[in-house]
Amino acid sequence: MKKILILEILSDDDELKANDEKIQGPYVKMFADAMNIGEERFVVVDASKEVPDDPSEYSGIIIGRSAYEPIEGREKPWMREVYEFIKRVVNLGVPLLGICGGLEFTARALGAEVVPNPKGKEFGSFVISLNENGKQDPLFEGMPEKFISQISHGYSVEELKDNWKVLASSEMCNNQAIAIGNNIRLVQFHPEIKPIHLENLAKMRNTEVETKESPHTKQVLRNFLNNFIEDRF
């Protein structure tokens, strides 16, 4: 069975990455726990060190959080390599879930602009509201119309390309979830993290955060597994 790729785009700063893992634990464990599958189902690749050539080697791809914003003029060479990889993913039809920075990198790779979020930084536990498209989308199968999620971002994608569909929003962000065709799903919120992870992040940033439990968000990851990845085999 092909493995699920977690393409890490957190940073090219080894000290930052080591500190993050020391405090938060391995990123892969968050997904394995939420999806209720073993860590052996995943392969983790640090995009700042290498970017895979062939996306078809994987059953599905997850691109997660990033300390960098994909803004023109600020992009590092490895970030541009990620864009090219994303284009190959789209061309091959491999299921892709972009989370927070993964949403921004994917949108940027496909021609959209990433901008400072008009309503400011969104950091904490917030209500996500599904629209009619979201209620019918397999990524949100079995989900309530409104649910709490952990969120941490200061940038967003405001203007979507033709044929992209908005699936969900929050009070501070219009485009919390986006569908691109049948296989690409992007979420600005973090379905993989729990309140404790956001609280740890606040300590790392020497700031405060108010959190609430987010019991429904793991279903988003299970739906990606069941309805996008395993449906193909």
- Position 228 scores a pLDDT of 98
Comparing 119-123, 139-143, 184-188, 216-220, the range with the smallest average pLDDT is 119-123
Could you tell me what percent of the chain has a pLDDT over 70? 99
- Per-residue confidence at 232, pLDDT binned at 50, 70, 90? low
Mean pLDDT of 51-70: 94
Q: Which residues contact 218 (CB under 8 A, 6 or more apart)?
A: 34, 35, 191
As given in the structure block, the two tokens for residue 11 are: 């940073």
Which among 192, 168, 162 has a CA at the least distance from the CA of 180? 162
Burial (CB < 10 A; 0-12, 13-18, 19+), residue 160, is: middle
Mean pLDDT of 6-10: 95
Mean pLDDT of 139-159: 96
Residue 6 has pLDDT above 80, yes or no: yes
- Position 21 scores a pLDDT of 86
Residue 142 has pLDDT above 70, yes or no: yes
- Position 19 scores a pLDDT of 83
Average pLDDT, the chain: 94
Mean pLDDT of 14-25: 84
Mean pLDDT of 100-120: 95
Which among 145, 156, 153 has a CA at the least distance from the CA of 108? 156
- Position 67 scores a pLDDT of 87
Q: What is the pTM of this model?
A: 0.94
Q: What is the DSSP string of 146-165?
A: EEEEEEEESEEE-SPPTTEE
Could you tell me what percent of the chain has a pLDDT over 90? 82
Mean pLDDT of 144-162: 95
Mean pLDDT of 185-214: 93
Mean pLDDT of 168-177: 97
Comparing 23-27, 182-186, 215-219, the range with the smallest average pLDDT is 23-27
- Position 14 scores a pLDDT of 84
CA atoms within 13 A on the CB side of 11: 10
Structural domains of the chain ordered from first start: 4-232 (3.40.50.880)
